[in-house]
Amino acid sequence: MKILLTDDHAVVRQGYASLLEAMLERCEIIEAGCGHDGFALWLQQRPDLVILDINLPDISGIETAKRILERDASAKVLFFSMYDELPMVKQALDAGALGYITKSSSPEILLDAVKRVVQGQPYVEHELATRLAMQGKGGGDPRLANMTQREFEIFVMLARGLTPKHIADQLCISAKTVSNHSALLKSKLEVGSTAELVHLAIRCGLIKPGCSELP
In the chain, CATH 1.10.10.10 covers: 142-203
Q: Which neighbouring-strand residues pair with 102?
A: 81
Give me the DSSP letters along 114-145: HHHHHTT--EE-HHHHHHHHHHHHH---HHHH
pTM: 0.69
Q: Does domain 2-138 have CATH number 3.40.50.2300?
A: yes
Close Cβ partners of 43 (under 8 Å, ≥ 6 residues apart): 71
The CATH-assigned architecture of domain 142-203 is Orthogonal Bundle (1.10)
Residue type, 92: A
**pLDDT tens for the 215 residues of the chain, in order:** 999 999 999 998 999 999 999 999 889 999 999 999 999 999 999 999 999 999 888 888 999 999 999 999 999 999 999 888 888 888 899 889 999 999 999 999 999 999 989 999 889 888 887 677 656 544 456 676 667 767 777 887 888 788 888 888 877 788 899 889 888 888 888 888 888 888 887 777 666 665 544 43
The whole-angstrom separation of Cα 143 and Cα 98 is: 25
In the chain, CATH 3.40.50.2300 covers: 2-138
Helix (H) or strand (E) holding 50: strand 49-52
